[in-house]
Amino acid sequence: MRLLNIKLFVFAGILTFLFQISSSSLYAQRTIDQLNANLQAMYKSYKLPGFSIAIVNKGKVIYENGYGYADIKARKPFTPTTIQNIGSISKTFVAVALMKAIEHGYFTLETNINDILPFKVSNPYFPNDSIKIKHLVTHTSGIVDRNEIYYKSYIWDTKNISILKELLPSSIYSIMSTGADVDTTLKDFMYSYLNSDGKFFTKENFYDSRPGERSEYSNIASALAAYLIECKSGKSFSEYSELFILTPLKMFKSGWFLKSIDLSQHTKLYAENMEVFPLYQLVTYPDGGLRTSVDDLSKYVIEMIKGFNGKSDILSQKFYVEMFTPQLFVTTPPKNINLNKRNKGIFWNLYPTGYIGHDGDDPGISTCLRFNPKTKTGYVFLTNIMATNEVLSGEIKSIEKVLEDFCDSIRSQN
């Protein structure tokens, strides 16, 4: 009798376990179906040409989908494998590559950049103050993105540059075209802009503030951090990041240049009036030039979460911890940043909600990547239009809110 009771007890336990699994699966399917319905409704009522999303949880992609069109005229769907440039999310790849370079022993965050560069860079207002790598990665270096030069670093894939006149504000169009005097290598651009003998150099390339004193977003400083890796590794940044990030993560549809990706899978890039931008590349490509898909980016998000939890294949855990540790201190904050809303890791944004991530925008694109390494959830969002007005910006933020709310709803299941 006792044996029979034990068997009945075990059987009941198995039934309870299977019921719990079934209930959890049904709940997950219901929430995913609701998410899809919400996103479908948003696409139908919004002005976005197309977008794609991926949701990750516990080391897996639990949902990915595309909505709308990668090419409106050809009615080509926007799918999770659709490729586009991702703007400043690219800087997070600089962060990972930089930590890999530190793991290789090339330098530390405290290293003076002039100990690495083949030419000298100093703030003319404070020539005796050292700019360190930690200043570049927290946007406190004092380096200014002077638009009349920085915008010229966009190289447009068109012979008819005047097409941009209908797509860009006149103030930007007047300078955002590739001129004969624009250096087309990362090294040459950095020298020309930052060295006192460079042809683009002026005191206005720097803020009148000491390194570490002022927070101000700088694409050029971000690209300079990537160039430091080139100086020490002997490889271009694109080669280095491909070797140590893209290839190990099997991000085979991703690349830094148009020649590196399958252009048949690349989306059209739309302006606010739904006219199509020509494709473009960046001289300062590490700051915003990676081309990829949500399918590939989901692998990257999963790896970042794994790395935080000590299970990464590309970087030791202590370097993830350092990369995601707040670098700016409430007791001595730099000017021009509210640390109650956002802190900085190594290029990564750290939010009070526990999320880590980055946004991106450029002509024809808006992007967002977020994850919570403790709950092991996250999402990726790509759309093929830039938020140039309050309506588009509001629509994009609404979608991101739905995705974050979904991630929050499933963390209780973890």
Give the pLDDT of residue 167: 86
Alpha helices in 242-369 (DSSP H): 294-308, 317-323
DSSP 41-98: HHHHHS--SEEEEEEEETTEEEEEEEEEEEETTTTEEP-TT-BEE-GGGHHHHHHHHH
* Residue 164, both tokens: 């941009």
Taking Cα atoms as reference points, which of 173, 185, 367 lies closest to residue 269? Answer: 367
User: Residue 285 in contact with residue 260, Cβ under 8 Å?
Assistant: no
**Contact yes or no for 293/52 (Cβ under 8 A):** yes
**Which helix (DSSP H) or strand (DSSP E) does residue 349 occupy?**
strand 349-350
| Residue 104: count of CB within 10 angstroms of its CB | 13
Written as six digits, the tokens of 406 are: 């979904």
pLDDT the model gives residue 90: 98
| Helix (H) or strand (E) segment spanning residue 150 | helix 147-150
Ordered domains of the chain (ranges, CATH)? 37-411 (3.40.710.10)
pLDDT at 181: 56
Cβ-in-10-Å burial (0-12, 13-18, 19+) of 179 comes to exposed
CA distance 351 to 361: 19
* pLDDT value of position 158: 79
Residue type, 395: E
Nearest of 321, 324, 384 to residue 349 by alpha carbon: 324
Q: Write b or e for each residue in 345-363: b if 16 or more Cβ atoms lie within 10 A of its Cβ, otherwise e.
A: bbbbbbeeeebbbbbbbbb
**SS3 of 167, please?**
coil
Residue 102's pLDDT is what? Answer: 98
Q: Which residues contact 227 (CB under 8 A, 6 or more apart)?
A: 117, 186, 187, 190, 237, 286
Q: What tens-digit pLDDT sequence spans the chain (414 residues)?
A: 544 444 444 444 443 433 343 444 444 567 899 999 999 999 999 999 999 999 999 999 999 999 999 999 999 999 999 999 999 999 999 999 999 999 999 999 999 999 999 999 999 999 999 999 999 999 999 999 999 999 889 988 877 778 888 888 877 877 775 554 566 799 999 999 999 999 999 999 999 999 999 999 999 999 999 999 999 999 999 999 999 999 999 999 999 999 999 999 999 999 999 999 999 999 999 999 999 999 999 999 999 999 999 999 999 999 999 999 999 998 999 999 999 999 999 999 999 999 999 999 999 999 999 999 999 999 999 999 998 899 999 999 999 999 999 999 987 565
For the chain, the residue count is 414
Question: 3-class secondary structure for 220-238?
Answer: HHHHHHHHHHHHHHCCCHH
**Model pTM score:** 0.92
- Amino acid found at 141: S
